[in-house]
């Protein structure tokens, strides 16, 4: 099942995919979805970021088997970095090089604290595509990652949330201006998604709509203003965002 947040005349609305249109629903976190009756044809729908999270965490050093030698660790991105499909990633070239990272992003359905790995799937609504944009030249200056990870438009999410997905074996392809720049699979991550969530819920509570960017399995690529990034996870779709030079204006999700 595919869920989205769509721009409507009444404001952003959650919706479920039915054939060639989006059926607007009351709340994507309901156990049984309640349709409002409003339908929007696919071609007319403008998709927003599929969730407005209060927590956005990304996994550090989770890119391959070597990374299992130390405990999992996460960094925070602010909710304000979240943007939807088509929204710009704004980079300040004065702050050095920037990478995009194509990742599977987990969206929580329930409050989740102190979960065993076995309890994790029931707490999760589904997965979307996340782009964990990273100002890599700031890393040596800020191990806390605040100035590394929080630029405008630095967390594109979308286009949809897929509720039925093989999290631990999802291929990820990254293209810059239509040319393949990197590819990998969540099978290449150091820690499984259930292990990551179990670890993090020792320390904090995720809630409905919150997001975990699960790590970059060799799916990073450098970008510059003027380029377009597309990240494809076949079960979910393709997330596309332009890269622009920072204008000073604020991003909206």
- Applying CB under 8 A, the site for its own copies has a residue count of 45
Interface map 199-218 toward its own copies (x if CB under 8 A): -x-xxxxxx--x--------
Q: In the bound complex, what is the minimum distance in angstroms from residue 21's beta carbon to its own copies?
A: 31
> Beta strands of the chain (E only): which ranges?
2-8, 11-18, 21-25, 35-41, 47-48, 56-59, 74-77, 82-83, 89-91, 98-108, 124-131, 155-162, 171-176, 179-185, 211-213, 220-223, 228-233, 237-245
Q: At 134, is the secondary structure helix, strand, or coil? A: strand
Looking at 4, 48, 55, 120, which residue binds its own copies (CB under 8 A)?
55
Region binding its own copies by CB under 8 A among candidate stretches 25-33, 159-167, 218-226, 244-252? 244-252
Give the integer Cα–Cα distance in Å for 217 and 65: 10
Say whether residue 145 binds its own copies (CB under 8 A): yes
Q: How many residues does the chain have?
A: 253
Say whether residue 124 binds its own copies (CB under 8 A): no
**Residue 1 or 111 with smaller CB distance to its own copies:** 111
**Residue 17 or 139 with smaller CB distance to its own copies:** 139
Q: In the bound complex, what is the minimum distance in angstroms from residue 95's beta carbon to its own copies?
A: 7
Residue labelled with tokens 């088509």: 86
Interface map 102-121 toward its own copies (x if CB under 8 A): ---------x-xx-------
Q: At 105, is the secondary structure helix, strand, or coil? A: strand
**Residue 136 or 204 with smaller CB distance to its own copies:** 204
Contacts 24+ apart (CB under 8 A), 19-23: 21/45
Give the integer Cα–Cα distance in Å for 84 and 240: 9
Looking at 95, 97, 136, 244, which residue binds its own copies (CB under 8 A)?
95
Say whether residue 198 binds its own copies (CB under 8 A): no
Say whether residue 74 binds its own copies (CB under 8 A): yes
Give the integer Cα–Cα distance in Å for 154 and 132: 6
**Residue 56 or 172 with smaller CB distance to its own copies:** 56
Output the six-digit token pair for 126: 């589904």
Q: What is the binding site for its own copies (CB under 8 A)?
A: 54-57, 60, 71, 73-81, 92, 95, 111, 113-114, 135, 138, 141-147, 150-152, 200, 202-207, 210, 246, 248-251
């Amino acid at each position: 099942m595919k869920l989205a947040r769509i721009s409507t005349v009444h404001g952003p609305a959650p919706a479920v995919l039915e054939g060639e249109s989006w059926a607007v629903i009351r709340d994507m976190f309901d156990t049984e979805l309640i349709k409002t009756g409003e339908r929007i044809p696919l071609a007319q729908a403008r998709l927003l970021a599929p969730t407005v999270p209060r927590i956005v965490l990304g996994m550090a050093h989770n890119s391959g088997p070597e990374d299992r030698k130390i405990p999992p660790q996460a960094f925070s991105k602010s909710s304000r970095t979240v943007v939807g499909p088509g929204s710009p990633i704004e980079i300040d070239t004065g702050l050095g090089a920037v990478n995009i990272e194509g990742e599977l992003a987990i969206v929580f359905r329930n409050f989740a604290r102190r979960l065993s790995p076995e309890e994790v799937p029931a707490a999760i609504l589904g997965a979307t595509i996340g782009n964990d944009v990273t100002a890599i030249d700031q890393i040596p200056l800020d191990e806390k990652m605040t100035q590394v990870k929080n630029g405008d438009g630095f967390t594109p999410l979308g286009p949809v949330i897929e509720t039925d997905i093989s999290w631990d074996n999802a291929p990820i392809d990254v293209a810059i201006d239509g040319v393949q720049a990197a590819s990998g699979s969540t099978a290449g991550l150091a820690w499984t998604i259930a292990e990551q969530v179990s670890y993090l819920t020792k320390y904090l509570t995720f809630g409905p709509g919150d997001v975990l960017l699960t790590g970059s399995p060799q799916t990073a690529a450098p970008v510059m203003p003027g380029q377009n990034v597309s990240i494809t996870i076949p079960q979910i779709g393709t997330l596309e965002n332009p890269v622009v030079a920072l204008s000073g204006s604020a991003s909206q999700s």
